[in-house]
Amino acid sequence: MSFREVLKQTLATLRAHKLRSFLTMFGIVWGIASVILLVGLGKGFSKDQKERMKSLGTDVAIIWGGRTSAQAGGLAAGREIRLSVDDAIAIKQECYLIKTVSPELRRAVPETSQWNSANRSVRGVWPEFQRFRSLKVEEGRLMVEEDQAQSRRVVLLGFEARQQLYPGKAAIGETLVMNGLPYTVIGVLERKKQNSSYGSGPDNTQLFVPYASMARDFPPRERPGIFKGWVNNLVIEVADPDTHEEAVAQVYRVLGRRHHFDPQDEDALFVWDTMRGAKMVARIFEIMTMFFGAMAIMTLCLGGIGVMNIMLVSVTERTREIGVRKAIGATRKDILRQFFSEAVVITVLSGVLGLIVGVGICVLLDVAPKPEFIPTPVVSTVSIVGSLLTLGLITVLAGMYPARRAAEMEPVESLRYE
Residues 6 or more apart from 85 whose CB is under 8 A from it? Answer: 103, 211, 215, 229, 231
Check residue 416 and give its pLDDT.
Answer: 56
Residue 311 CA to residue 121 CA, distance in Å, equals 69
SS3 call for 169: coil
CA distances from 312 to 11, 121, 244, 399 (A): 17, 71, 61, 9
Other CB atoms within 10 Å distance of the CB of residue 232: 19
Residue 261 CA to residue 74 CA, distance in Å, equals 10
SS3 call for 80: strand
SS3 call for 76: coil
Identify which of 302, 335, 308 has the alpha carbon closest to the alpha carbon of residue 398: 308
Q: How many residues does the chain have?
A: 418
Check residue 353 and give its pLDDT.
Answer: 87
Tell me the whole-structure pTM to 2 decimals: 0.64
What's the angle, vertex CA 282, arms to CA 278 and CA 287, rounded to 5?
A: 150
E strands of 67-224, at which residues?
A: 98-108, 111-112, 117-118, 121-125, 137-140, 154-157, 175-178, 181-189, 207-210
Print pLDDT tens along the chain (418 aa).
Answer: 566 776 677 677 667 777 777 777 788 888 888 888 888 887 777 776 666 555 555 678 899 999 998 887 677 888 899 999 999 999 999 999 999 999 999 999 999 999 999 999 999 999 999 988 888 999 999 999 999 999 999 999 999 999 999 998 999 999 999 999 999 999 999 988 765 677 777 889 999 999 999 999 999 888 888 889 999 999 998 888 778 889 899 999 999 999 999 999 989 999 887 766 666 666 777 777 778 778 777 777 777 777 777 777 777 766 677 677 777 777 777 777 777 777 777 788 888 888 888 888 888 887 777 666 677 778 877 777 877 787 777 777 777 777 777 667 666 565 555 5
CB-based contact 416:368 (threshold 8 Å): no
Residue 406 CA to residue 321 CA, distance in Å, equals 10
DSSP 8-class letter at 174? -
Give the pairing of strands 175-178 and 233-238: unpaired
Residue type present at position 276: R
